[in-house]
Chain A
Amino acid sequence: MKDKLSRIATSTAADYADIRYEKNHKTRISYRGRALSEVASYETFGGHTRAYAGGGKAVATFSGANRAETMAAAVAASARIAARHRDKPLRIAPAPVLISAFPIVSDSHPSAVSMEEKLALAAHYNDLILAEPLVATTETDYDEFVSHRVFVNSEGSVIEYDVVIANIVGRIVTKKGDVVQRIRFAFGGNEHFDRLIGREEDLRRLIDVACRLVEAQPARSGRYPVILDPSEAGLFVHEAFGHLSESDSLQNNPSFRARLNLGDDVGQPILNVSDDPTRNGLPGSYPIDDEGVRAVRTPLITEGRLTGRLHSRETASEFGEPLTGNMRAVDAQYTPIVRMSNILIEQGQSTFDELVSSIDDGYYLVGAKGGQTSGDQFTFGAQWGFRIEGGQLGPMVRDINMSGELFSTLKAISMVGDDVAFGERGGCGKGSPMQLNRMSGKGAPHIRIDDVTIGGIA
């Protein structure tokens, strides 16, 4: 198969062409309350091809491998049509030709675990949650994705690689009177099934939070200084800064491009941020991207200065910057786009006590609850939080969503903690059509932000 695809790519009438073909296996087990609502096992095949010709670009998705040749020819023709409507040709940066294989080896590969064992584990955690009287219902999912990919291009690269991720994720839903609250949990996030086992204490801590949260008061709207826990701080740097370090977001946005020059001061000297797909065992760890480029660590902010950004071959050419290996596609139905791998605020020096005692009237916000960004505007939620009054942690609060503007908020990070933790499940939607990427890692220590807007009906 790979030889045939390679012949098609190298004979396509284009300046550059590539084909990615995938065999994917997915397993999903879903509990909704006591009901085992879904047991499903899927196998999919599919391909994606891209071409650059005369400065134009086209891409195509197809189902069967027998369509590869037809679709590769079609995208080459479409790329030439696209070229006629561009006054500025699209180019791609040179990349090494690679003939290699990157298999994933694991002592506890999820494919080697029986369906019975996966079912029993999901049921065990689900039962643990349901044993608590305040729990109204549960969402407990075992989610496994095993992908074998072949990438070939017209330059002669032939690469085989795997993508493997297994998670147990869900929500604990508690109810008291009219108050209903949801707390997320996620275990796993890599190719090792054994990371999902023995997580009862982690789950019990979250069940306890969910039960306490229905007694809590909503956060009060207003502008406050806040402490973000590592999960929230990781989400913040992902949403607020990370998306603007993805160069395809900047490539065609002249006003932001002018505001984000390498070397610009974007934060205080205590702030260091990097993107690192080479750290083992995290949701966004991988050796090679979906454009056949080796993954590397990229320092994005160094001592408060902008020092790098994330690239495809096309954006690296456009910006005249080094390749970073950040082109990823969720699966063969999608074209690769520039994505963060594992984004990290690096360790600082402040202790947790120093962070809390620095705030007279604010909030300590815990647990990522999703977010959204548009240019320099961002919004993200916290699963729960605590009032801080007079430098002391106060009562728990619920229903917290906050927003801000990137450039002023980055400069408002005034303290960085001496602890770092990574989340175990990625989750990021980007692109049109939207690609929901579970292989997006986020890590951070506790941080203090001097001023964010908290919304709320209270």
Chain B
Amino acid sequence: MNPLIDRARSYVDQAELYWTRQHDISVSYEDSRLQSINESDTSSLALRVIDRGRLGATYGIAPDRDRLVNEAKQAAAHGDPAPFSFAPEARYPEVANYSDRAARLSSEDVVALCEAVRTRILAKRPDASLRVEAGTAARHLDIETTQGAAATHRSSEMYIWFGAPFKGAGIGVYKVAAGVTPLNPPDDLVDEFVRWYGWGEATSTPRTGRLPVVFAPNAASLYLLPLWAGLDGDAVDKGTSPLIGRVGEAILSPLLTVVDDPLRADDPEARPFDDEAIPCQRRPLIHRGSLTGFLFDLRTAALQGTASTGNAVKRALFGGGTETAPAPWPMSLVVEPGDSSFDEMVADLDEGLVLLGGLGFHSGNYPQGQFSVQAVGFHVQGGRVVGRLENTMVSADIYTDLANVRAVSREQRRSFGMLGALAPYVLVDGLQVTGR
């Protein structure tokens, strides 16, 4: 037992200690040149306590640990009654996503991966102003509570993100690969980058009206973030979720199944427990279009008279980390594959869009299932890509528009950005497009 928990026991009724250590090395390239080597070696603690039934929290990086318990106790003196207890002792599932080889990689190893990708791309597109960021991380997380939970997990990651802005533009094509073990240069993604980069050399603006849209895996967050906002146990508790009372109902197309799966061993983000030391589980959220359940942490579960689903995460829409209070979030989303393919979807379109992402998501009314963004992607006419989108906005209400999914691809890719997922390409019948 951590001595801090032992000490807290004599001062407060309950305590929960969250302790993370992380070592990262990353290398960034700008305009095809190595810009900087970055290293981070940090440790931080968060302590939550319940004292006389009230909740308080404190946090520190390299803190004076004697002060932590007192600060948390003082915060609890002002806090609201806690509707829950911290996590009890539990058995956690096995998640083996740590590689000693990845954790021991040096900055020179990371530079070597970047150089390999850089060389491969510049051989085919010497004109690309290449951006590359690659890195390795080793993470160790412990959570202990006075109620008996003792959770410990270590994980490793190596990742590479690369791409280039289209000539004369700010937007571009970017690809990402990540794994638990050291990576080899991702040749398939390099080839895909080269193909897509070529598509973006011309610009094109579609007509205004309702047009079919292919969501590339990296655009999945445009529909997954509004979905999260509806599944969020806090929005359920506050009465603002549009999904209240709809469990069992069809809310999306029957071609869509969305699973929260934090137990995949090949996933660097996989983990056996959430940020409140509740065991994680593989759990369908949308099964063939029907809503199967919400996301709860300890607090929102207690308020709703149910159990935590193991979805407490220290993050917010922007940022997060040790200092952030836990809130309900998906742990690791997977959108299940279908039986189509990206190339078949494009060939099937008389006119439509391939969406790689969107600018300005967070300024829309996403908590109600809507998005309205500047479209980043490609314009398709006559079954082929005619150029990158320009001066185009695309808007949707996911609960109306994603009821009409025409096809889901066999291919899945890891997406990155505000809400990562393993997602396929999804072809939707008609979204409102503002273009010419």
Contacts and interface: CB of A to CB of B under 8 A. Distances in A.
Q: Which residue of B57, B62, B111, B299 has the most chain A CB atoms within 10 A of its CB atom?
A: B62
A296 interface: no
B43 A371 contact: no
B33 interface: yes
Which size bracket describes the interface of B in this complex?
Answer: 35 or more
Given A81-B37, A374-B376, A403-B393, A42 B59 contact: yes
B395 A403 contact: no
A405 B393 CA distance: 12
Interface in A229-277: 251-256, 259
A422 interface: no
A167 B397 CA distance: 34
Interface string A358-394: 0000000000011111111111110000000000000
Interface in A22-51: 26, 30, 32-33, 35-46
B304 interface: no
A45 B62 contact: yes
Interface string A6-23: 000000000000000000
Contact of A39 (B56, B60, B131): B56
A381 B76 contact: no
A136 interface: yes
Given A36-B79, A85-B115, A115-B78, A75 B39 contact: yes
A217 to B, nearest CB: 13
Given A81-B107, A379-B374, A401-B373, A41 B170 contact: no
A107 interface: no
B91 to A, nearest CB: 30
B186 interface: no
A430 B29 CA distance: 17
A380 B360 CA distance: 6
Contact of A41 (B75, B299, B358): B75
Contact of B170 (A43, A116, A256): A256
B359 A372 contact: yes
A335 interface: yes
A137 B325 CA distance: 19
Interface in B385-436: 390-391, 393-397, 432, 434
Interface stretch (A146-154, A343-351, A450-458): A450-458
Given A37-B299, A221-B395, 8 more contacts: A38-B79, A41-B71, A61-B41, A74-B39, A175-B239, A181-B365, A332-B61, A379-B373
Interface of A: 26, 30, 32-33, 35-46, 56-65, 67, 71, 74-75, 78-79, 81-82, 85-88, 90, 115-116, 119, 136-137, 173, 175, 178-182, 221-223, 251-256, 259, 332-333, 335, 369-381, 398-399, 401-405, 429, 432, 434, 436, 453-457
6 contacts: A26-B323, A41-B58, A59-B37, A182-B365, A252-B30, A456-B372
Those 5 A-B pairs whose CB atoms lie nearest each other, nearest first: A375-B170, A381-B363, A379-B360, A455-B393, A252-B30
